Amino acid sequence: MEKCDSGNGKWERLADRALAGIGLTEEEGLSILEAEDDELLSLLQAAFRVRKHYFGRKVKLNLIINAKSGLCPEDCGYCSQSIVSRAPIAKYPLLERRVLLEGAHRAVEWKAGTYCIVTSGRGPTERELDEVAAAVKEIKSALPLKICACLGLLREEDARKLREAGVDRYNHNLNTSSGHYAAITTTHTYDQRVETIRRAMEAGLSPCSGVIVGMGETDRDLVSMALALRELRAESIPVNFLNPIPGTPLEGKRELNPRRCLKVLALFRLICPDREIRIAGGREVNMRSLQPLGLYAANSIFVGDYLTTEGQAAEADHRMLEDLGFEIEECAPAAG
């Protein structure tokens, strides 16, 4: 393939291709990550053209509740809840239904349209699945929220039960590329994650799957992730930036800077032009003062805390969006 020409026009040409429905190639994706810092604003302007075409100036807000913490038998190197982690975190079984409902009311209070119920572990037990399903039914009967569940690996019958209960979306991140996967996790495979995403889709759940950037992957790995998520038709793509938690195998791994994060967000927008691109975990510690610029490529963020790490205060996020002149999309309708 002929290499993209130099100058600001090359990013506009990539935006033209994305808007025309012409999928970017691997080499074009690599050129985004290799962009000079002096071209960053031009790159973001091209990404914003695509973002604005599909989403205008609206931003979706999402709130996570850590519904079951720690006690996980998996060995994911980035996770403070894994069996190999020494991080001093809270560990508890599935929260009571009352607490899950309180979290849903907090989501509405903080203007989040999507409430994400997340549990640690390889996959849900029958009791956990039933409890989550019952809580979802109560939430959906009382509040205008989209519900996303993230419970680990799913069986076909699990996915159907969640859909029947009113769950709108299922999250199961690829996290990293197929080629880099064994360096991060050995207790389950990349293919098992892909299969869970497909099972969720087959049950009628909107597929949500994303990545964690900064775990030692190459540029080619990053582009491979974006292309894989495009191929899987993930409708929501959380882009996490590694927060290297002390006590985890990846503690001390600090590969990112704010400019790199912005290039990654532009990559995902231009390769997956019409998908919800969400700036997720680690944005505060990695993007720092450049957080607002990320929303020229992404159209979604989490508000509040993450699973075991603190996030930015919801009020600060609301002010950031107001300063940008963007509009919060409250109680966003379910995809499809």
Catalytic residue IDs: 72, 76, 79, 116, 148, 208, 278
CB 110 within 8 A of CB 321: no
CB 129 within 8 A of CB 158: yes
The span from the CA of 49 to the CA of 37, in Å, is: 19
Cα–Cα distances in angstroms (integers) from residue 208 to residues 45, 240, 248, 279, 322, in the given order: 26, 13, 25, 13, 27
Could you tell me which of 117, 128, 124, 122 has the C-alpha nearest to residue 76?
A: 122
Residue 67's identity, in one-letter code, is A
The span from the CA of 336 to the CA of 329, in Å, is: 16
The span from the CA of 336 to the CA of 333, in Å, is: 9
The span from the CA of 46 to the CA of 303, in Å, is: 26
For residue 54, how far is the Cα from the chain centroid?
18
For residue 216, how far is the Cα from the chain centroid?
19
Residue 255, SS3? coil
CB 194 within 8 A of CB 166: no
